[in-house]
Structure 1
Amino acid sequence: MVPYTATLDVDQATVWHLSALLNAERRRRGTRTGTRSLTCYKQAVLILRWFRDDTAIEALARDNHISRATGYRYIDEGVDVLADQAPDLYEVLEHARLVPQDPLILDGKLFPSDRSAEPGPTGKSDLWYSGHKHRHGGNIQFLSDARGEPLWVSEVEPGSTADITAARLHVFPLLHKAMAGGVVTLADSGYEGAGVGVRTPIKRPPQVDEHRWHVDDRAHNRLLRGLRCIGERAMAVLTGRWRVLRHTTMSPSKIGSIVQAALALTNIEKQNR
């Protein structure tokens, strides 16, 4: 083993913010002073190293002279504490309703994971395998603003779940109510049939040649796609900053909490700028 010095490119204010959240969680649990292997500050650094650099938990545990099991427990605790700070869908939609702004953008993303052999509903394929993306992972629905800033992320659904099915479970119950208040949402063709207020591309009738298709319909689709594609930046913001999101080796059922925690970290960094 060769020791070396490294620098974590995370603001000191973010470390202290997370440290305060961990301290509050320890008080809530009634943890006695001096009974933990790491201080809240050192645990915060460990958690941020995992999120930022996707450092192996075994390496994090070794660097901090703790067991592998303790390392996993500290990471799980940090994920849960941060996920609790993630924006609530009701709050996001209420703000969009009260503060006039450009349309929201709804989309879904498959976050890759290791193979999970849990059988799907038909028994012919794995539950967490996406036939559309041809890989295992978890389906996360998200809302972003017109600038591509992430606003909200959902709980995880298995990779075999279609976007519109996941949206019906996690988004539409509240989104449809917000639409009555004037909130407009843009989405891709995968959300066709979502209902009033969700703008999706107009589907060209199969008997109509593309060049003979009405110019208004073509213009509508080009404009919608031009606006909607900006929403893809939201997930690029998260996966670009927090490398642990690019592939998880944990249970795919934890993907939702991990992505919510990453969104909370992104918001904390914005507040501390």
Structure 2
Amino acid sequence: MIAYPAMLDVPRELVRYVGRLLYDERCRRRTPKGSRRLTCFHQALFALAWFRTKPNIRLHGIAFGLSQATAYRYLHEAINVLANQAPDLHNALDRAVRDSVSHLVLDGKIFDTDRCRLKTTSVKGQTIDAWYSGKTSDFGGNIQALCEPDGFPIWTSEVEPGGVVDIEAARRHVLPAVYPYTKAMPVLADPGYQGAGHGVHVPFKQPADGNVLSVGNRTHNALQRALRSLGERGFALLTERWTALQHTTLSPSRLGDLVRAALVLVHFEYRRIS
């Protein structure tokens, strides 16, 4: 084997922040001093390098002197401590109100995963792959997110199998908590959220009988689309910076924690937390 130097383009302050979280977790578990292969700082460095570049976990572990099993364990520990720092939905909404946010953007994304054998029954009574998404024609997990008007993500949901459509995922994880806030802070969403309810603004549907929308409705759609499109930035901030989210080989059930961990990293780099 040939060793070579590499650079990780994350600030040292971020490594220290994750290291402090890991240190607190070791103290909570009463981990004996000197019993770990890596210090908290180097475990944080190991995890951030994986989030940033998603190297092969076995080879990445070897670079840090870890077995494959230990590498996975250290990675999951880092994901857990980061995900635990993510704001819950009510806290995120309360902060948005305090910051006088004019509106929020609700969006969903299918995060690419390896194939999962879990089956479910479709609305037609057929047995199908639960994690297969017709939206992307691939396997993945559905994550919902709320973003500020400029597209900055403030909250992400638990994962649902890719076969669950956006409106159903939103009803399970977002809408019940959002409704009380929509009078002062309306929510914009794409056509996939038709029927979301009061305070959630979606485009008018094109008539199915061959007619066309009125000028007023077309203008509403254009304005709504212009404002809503900025919400696309939210998932881009997560997946382009932390490329491990672009395709995960971890258990799909971990996607919710993985995305929340990346959300905390984004919030730290944008000085939303310290």
- CA distance in structure 2 between the partners assigned to 1:160 and 1:177 by the alignment: 29
Tell me the secondary structure at the aligned position of residue 120 of structure 1: strand
* Structure 2 equivalent of residue 30 of structure 1: 30
Q: CA deviation at 1:100?
A: 2.2
Q: Normalising by structure 2, what TM-score?
A: 0.95
* Structure 1 equivalent of residue 214 of structure 2: 214
- Which of 193, 197, 208 is matched with 1:191 structurally? 193
- Which of 117, 137, 161 is matched with 1:158 structurally? 161
1:64 aligns with 2:67: no
* Structure 2 equivalent of residue 81 of structure 1: 81
Q: Which AA in structure 2 matches 1:4?
A: Y
- CA distance in structure 1 between the partners assigned to 2:75 and 2:107 by the alignment: 28
- Which of 142, 145, 161 is matched with 2:145 structurally? 142
Q: CA deviation at 1:88?
A: 1.4
Tell me the secondary structure at the aligned position of residue 116 of structure 1: coil
- CA distance in structure 2 between the partners assigned to 1:150 and 1:195 by the alignment: 22
1:3 aligns with 2:6: no
Matches within 5 A, 1:1-273: 1-122=1-122, 124-180=127-183, 182-207=184-209, 209-210=211-212, 213-271=213-271
Q: CA deviation at 1:209?
A: 2.7
CA shift digits 1:164-197 (9 cap, x unpaired): 10001100110012224x1200001110111100
RMSD: 1.4
Q: Which AA in structure 1 matches 2:206?
A: R
CA shift digits 1:221-245 (9 cap, x unpaired): 0000111111011101111000100
20-29 or 97-106: bigger deviation: 97-106
After the TM superposition, which segments of 4 or more aligned residues of structure 1 sit over 4 Å from their partners?
A: none
Q: CA deviation at 1:82?
A: 0.2
Q: Which AA in structure 1 matches 2:130?
A: L
Q: CA deviation at 1:121?
A: 2.6
CA shift digits 1:54-88 (9 cap, x unpaired): 11111121011111100000000000000011121
- CA distance in structure 2 between the partners assigned to 1:15 and 1:39 by the alignment: 12
Q: Normalising by structure 1, what TM-score?
A: 0.96
- CA distance in structure 1 between the partners assigned to 2:93 and 2:210 by the alignment: 38
Q: CA deviation at 1:109?
A: 0.1
Unaligned runs of at least 5 residues, structure 1: none
- CA distance in structure 2 between the partners assigned to 1:204 and 1:45 by the alignment: 51
- CA distance in structure 2 between the partners assigned to 1:87 and 1:221 by the alignment: 32
Q: CA deviation at 1:208?
A: 5.0
CA shift digits 1:236-264 (9 cap, x unpaired): 11110001000001111111100000000
- CA distance in structure 1 between the partners assigned to 2:3 and 2:206 by the alignment: 62
Count of aligned positions: 270
